[in-house]
Amino acid sequence: MDNLALLLQAPPLALQLVIDGVLIGSVFALAAYGMALVWGVMNIINVCQGEFVMLGGYVALYLARAGLQPLLGVPVAAAALFPVGWLCYRLVIFRIVEQDLFVSLLATFGLGILLSQVMNQVFGANVQSLDPGLGSWFLFQGLVSVSIMIWTVQPFGGLIFTVRSFMIVILAGLGNLPGVILAALGLGVAEQFVGFILGAQLQIAFVFLALVAILVLRSRWLHRQRRYLA
């Protein structure tokens, strides 16, 4: 709550949070598009979407450390993850496409656990981050900074990404592409504000609780209440 007072005292901090939120929200939008694509085409909720994001992050991170120009790391990571996705499909997904949604949920969850544990073994459990040095801009006498692409990855950061993508897709609705961007940016900004005011743990709790709240509200809005003739 002290941070809330700080926010009210220094409005440019709010601008900082909005900018951070928009930047991270655009990453959420990318992840959400992937989930929306798989969901719409195959009716599979890909719970290991977040793990793919983390894997891409690790690939780009190690390439940047090895000396590759950081911006080039992005398409290379995309190309590297393509065969990973193909392998997942060939081994697991194509067997569960026909079955009901819960099977695919549990199977992709298992796949997600598998991937995150492999990343844990191979890369270590620490949070790794890299500043690619692409430059930052400082506004309002240093209160606001805009930096492009600072990577932080950790092996178990996948699940929260999956939940964010799922929330964005539900909010926007399958097939609503501009909606995905708006929902993603909104979520990013909301998350930054909650994280600043209430702290990091409650930021994570906020993401998951927002998911529950959205699902419950959505189900009420769609009038799925059970009413009985008394």
Partner 1 sequence: MTRRTLAKALPPALVALAVLAPFLLPAYKAQLTFLWIMIVFALSWDILGGETGYNSFGNIVFFGVGVYAAVVVQIGLFHDVAAYTAAAGTETLRFTPQQYFIGLAAGLIAAPLLAVLTALLLGWALLGLRGHYFAIATLGLGIAAGELAAAWPYLGGSSGVQVPVYPGSLESGRLLFYFLAAGLGLATLFALGGLYRTRLGLALNAIRDDEDKAEALGLHTPRYKIIAWCIAAATLGVAGGLVAHIIGFVDPREVAFAGASYGVWMVLMAILGGKGSLWGPVIGAALFHAMRELFWTYLFGWQNVAMGVLIVVVVVFFPTGILGWLRQRKPHWFARALPRATSPGESAP
Residues that bind partner 1 (CB under 8 A): 45, 92, 95-96, 99, 101-103, 105-107, 109-115, 117-118, 120-121, 156, 159-160, 163, 166, 199, 201-202, 204-205, 208-209, 211-212, 215-216, 219-220, 224-226, 228
In whole angstroms, how close is the CB of 164 to partner 1 at the nearest point? 11
In whole angstroms, how close is the CB of 39 to partner 1 at the nearest point? 10
Residue pair 41/180 in contact (Cβ under 8 Å)? The answer is no
- Pick between residue 65 and residue 220 the one whose CB is nearest to partner 1: 220
In whole angstroms, how close is the CB of 19 to partner 1 at the nearest point? 25
- Pick between residue 13 and residue 105 the one whose CB is nearest to partner 1: 105
Q: Which runs of consecutive H residues, i.e. helices, occur in the chain?
A: 2-9, 11-42, 49-65, 70-88, 94-96, 101-123, 158-172, 177-198, 200-221
Burial class (CB in 10 A: 0-12, 13-18, 19+), 5: exposed
In whole angstroms, how close is the CB of 152 to partner 1 at the nearest point? 18
In whole angstroms, how close is the CB of 107 to partner 1 at the nearest point? 4
The Cα–Cα gap between 202 and 170 comes to 22
Nearest to 169 by CA among 33, 51, 53: 33
- Pick between residue 19 and residue 172 the one whose CB is nearest to partner 1: 172
In whole angstroms, how close is the CB of 61 to partner 1 at the nearest point? 21
- Pick between residue 96 and residue 146 the one whose CB is nearest to partner 1: 96
- Pick between residue 134 and residue 202 the one whose CB is nearest to partner 1: 202
The Cα–Cα gap between 123 and 119 comes to 5
Nearest to 214 by CA among 170, 161, 160: 170
Q: Write out the H or E segment, with its range, that includes residue 153.
A: strand 151-153
The Cα–Cα gap between 53 and 169 comes to 16
